[in-house]
Amino acid sequence: MKNTIPLIIAVVLGLVAVFAVSRMIRPKDADREDQYTFVVSAAKEITPRDGAIKESWLMKRRVEMSSMPSKAIPWTQVNRIVGQSTIRAIARGDYILASDVAGLEIRLSDALADGEWAVPVTFSDPALVKFLQPGDEIAILGTSVMQQTVQQQDMSEKPETVDMRATSVIFPCVRILDIGKGDGIRREDDISGGSIILALTPQQSATLIAAQRTMELYPALRRTGDTRALKRRDVGIVTDGTFEALRDNLESVVLPDAAPGQ
């Protein structure tokens, strides 16, 4: 028995050592190569006055796929911009976006991930749209009208049907694919109607198209990469009862006849 205990301890220590070494040599999930890609960036400052872009002016830039700008040009497509010219000055090391290159064909499909569809949406209130940019993440809320049956005080009378408005989250987090005319250039007339293009799954696409026919839709800007409130039930639903509850246990405010100090 005395000889067995040291043997067990040795085996346990050996397993611990193997586990520790495997953790050290195993790459972290964040460093897995399949989570990264290469895009085109500027090897030098490039301005519209420089004329045709030369291949030597371009370099690879390794970027995490989740944070890659929507109009970044994959390194595999670098030949598309050689010989073209830029429409703005690009600093050394900056991404070269498809919208930065004159005459470059813009394809929304290049910005879509596998399994995503591009769907337009028009909001009832476009005020926030002018502050949005491609790549931003937003939540979409919808207000709908529900019919509710209310029983009259006189039980002999027929119940009354009334309209009740309710607001809830349709999509907690979706990515903006593009805004305006698809070239990435913001214009004053781009925000008319509050239309933007979203990247959605097929099920979300069908839901959004149907929601636009029956609901008033409103955007809410999220912080990019925020992992909170990603479920619809986290926000709940706002109805007339919500505002009735706000008035509970509150005393009425009486306004004075005269202004303060008089």
Residue 29's contacts (CB-CB under 8 Å, 6 or more residues apart) are 35
**pLDDT number for residue 163:** 75
Q: Which residue has the higher pLDDT, 10 or 59?
A: 59
**Comparing C-alpha atoms, which of 112, 134, 262, 261 is closest to residue 201?**
112
pLDDT tens across 203-219, in order? 999 999 999 999 999 99
Token pair of 246 as six digits? 């706000």
Tell me, what's the pLDDT at 29?
47
Terminal-to-terminal C-alpha distance of the chain: 97
pLDDT digits (tens, 9 = 90+) for 139-197: 999 998 877 776 767 667 777 767 788 999 999 999 888 886 554 444 444 544 567 99
CA angle at 62 for the pair 61 and 64, rounded to the nearest 5° = 135
Amino acid 202: pLDDT: 94
The rounded distance, in Å, linking the Cα atoms of 116 and 236 is: 27
Of the pLDDT bands very low, low, confident and very high (cuts 50, 70, 90), residue 138 is very high
Confidence (pLDDT) at 10: 64
| Domains, in order of start, for the chain | 31-105 (3.90.1210.10), 110-246 (no CATH)
User: Looking at the predicted structure, is the pLDDT value of residue 12 above 70?
Assistant: no
231, pLDDT greater than 80: yes
Those residues with Cβ within 8 angstroms of residue 153's Cβ, 6 or more apart along the chain or in another chain: none
pLDDT at 192: 46
How far is the C-alpha of 190 from the C-alpha of 202, rounded, in Å? 26
Predicted confidence (pLDDT) at residue 13 exceeds the cutoff of 70:
no
Has residue 36 got a pLDDT over 60?
Answer: yes
User: How much is the pLDDT for 103?
Assistant: 74
Q: Which residues pair with 217 in a beta bridge?
A: 142
- The answer to whether 104 and 84 are in contact (CB under 8 A) is yes
92 vs 87: CA distance, rounded Å: 16
Segment holding 234, helix H or strand E: none
Q: To the nearest whole percent, how much of the chain has pLDDT over 70? A: 75
- Please say whether the beta carbons of 98 and 86 come within 8 A: no
> Tell me, what's the pLDDT at 191?
44
What's the burial of 66, exposed, middle or buried (CB within 10 Å: 0-12/13-18/19+)?
exposed
Q: Determine which helix (DSSP H) or strand (DSSP E) holds 193, and give its type and residue range.
A: none
Question: Taking the alpha carbons of 96, 41, 130, 177 in that order, is the dihedral positive or negative?
Answer: positive
